[in-house]
Amino acid sequence: MPYTRRILPLTAVTIAIVLAWIVVSAAIVPTDATEGLRQKLTYLHPAFAIITLIAFVAGAFFGWQHLKHDRPIDDLRSYVAIHQAQNFCLIALITGGIWGRAAWGVWWDWGEPVLVTFLIIFLLYATYQPMRFAIEDPERQARTASVFAVSAGIFAPVCFGVVRLTTNLLHPQPLDDPASNLPGTAGLAFGLSVLALGALFVTLWHLEIVHKSTRIRVRQLQRKVEGEDAVPVVARASSPVTL
């Protein structure tokens, strides 16, 4: 299986990038006199948010591929991408709260559009698994989940992008003016953070694909041993409910 063969080199590359990111952000980048230690969250929280939105778009892409070609493996890819994106989204919210507490003195500010929009996106995707698991028929479940993935995958980045265009933002916008906001080694640390977490996401995505595919094969062998009709592997991959 190609995903299995990719895990070792992906893991090695990811570890190397993550180590470089940690060294640069923790040891090389000087601590800002005004921001203090909370500056280090600049190399963590935004990257989680960026990778989250990219991952949701990836889930939408694979969902579209499933609707277009009716390949169950695409549904599995979409499911895993959304699942991992949910984890990254939660971490982005938590690290954002920590930064807000340090910078604003509050864990959350309901008047900040960026924060509220990101929370709405998180709650939107929180309905994905309950909606999917409520449908028993595997084919209808996969189609419905793919429609959700495509619809939400378009809404999330567009909504977030529109909110960022507003002028009344307390939330820092480091990507708007990299020359002034992230000079020198700080810009390098930020770039490495996005690259490192992107590599981590891809590695975790591959690991979960392999894990679920292995469970599919185990269940298929169990059915053969029990004398039941064998279910094709690709058919079993259409429904994470059975994994």
Side chain identity at residue 201, one-letter code: F
Q: Which tokens belong to 91?
A: 């971490």
pLDDT single digits (tens) 68-100: 999 989 999 999 999 999 999 999 999 888 888
Q: Which tokens belong to 165?
A: 């265009």
Q: Which tokens belong to 142?
A: 């996969």
168-174 CB contacts, 8 Å cutoff, 24+ apart: 168/113, 169/112, 169/113, 169/114, 170/104, 170/109, 170/111, 170/112, 171/112, 171/114, 171/115, 172/42, 174/42, 174/46
Residues 180, 83: Cα–Cα separation, whole Å = 36
Sketch the domain layout of the chain as residue ranges.
Answer: 2-29+37-166+183-210
143-to-44, 85, 140, 166, 215 alpha-carbon distances in Å: 35, 20, 5, 36, 22
Note the pLDDT of residue 222.
Answer: 83
Cβ-based neighbours of 238, under 8 Å, separated by 6 or more: 72, 75, 76, 138, 139, 141, 142
pLDDT band for position 2 (cuts 50, 70, 90): confident
Phi, psi of 183 (to 5 degrees): -80, 155
**Average pLDDT across the chain, whole number:** 82
pLDDT single digits (tens) 181-238: 555 677 788 889 999 999 999 999 999 999 988 887 788 788 888 875 544 444 444 4
Q: Which of 8-17, 43-52, 99-108, 184-193 has the highest mean pLDDT?
A: 8-17
Residues 107, 170: Cα–Cα separation, whole Å = 14
pLDDT single digits (tens) 127-180: 999 999 999 898 999 999 999 999 999 988 887 777 666 655 555 555 554 444
Q: Which tokens belong to 20?
A: 């470089």
pLDDT single digits (tens) 94-113: 988 888 887 778 888 887 78
- Say yes or no to pLDDT of 18 above 90: yes
